[in-house]
Structure 1
């Protein structure tokens, strides 16, 4: 365990960031699952802008890479 005050503060910050990143990625994954399970075409079309913006936000927050986001979008919206 770290002894310095700055190191302890960094550990706290890292834990907070990890939880926050996990929340964002998990919420995006659940919406993608709902999108995949949806059978109605009209409802599916309503999910597309929301999913796209969530994936872009993950890239902006540097949770996933830009290329991965492009792959996800391409795969989902075929």
Structure 2
């Protein structure tokens, strides 16, 4: 276990950030699943908010920016095909 004050603080901060990132990532994945199961009209209204969630994950380095781009592309194609 770490002995320095700064190391102990870093452990606390890391755990807090990890839990926040995990929550945001899981919430976004759930929203993506809901969007894929939704009908056309509902999916079109949900799409901007889901894309925004994905962009925020990429901005905060929770997911890679290219993965975010791929997810957004797939979602737009899915909604267009409905």
Q: TM-score range, shorter-chain basis? A: over 0.9
TM-score computed with the length of structure 2 as normaliser: 0.89
Partner of 2:17: 17
CA distance in 1, matches of 2:11, 2:40: 46
Aligned to 2:29: 29
User: Across the two proteins, how many residue pairs are aligned to each other?
Assistant: 77
Structure 2: gaps (5+ residues) = 78-82
Task: Find the counterpart in structure 2 of residue 75 from structure 1.
Answer: 74
TM-score by length of 1: 0.93
Question: 1:11-70 CA deviation, whole Å, 9 max, x = no partner?
Answer: 0000000001001101100100111111x2111101110111111111111111111100
Moved over 2 A (4+): none
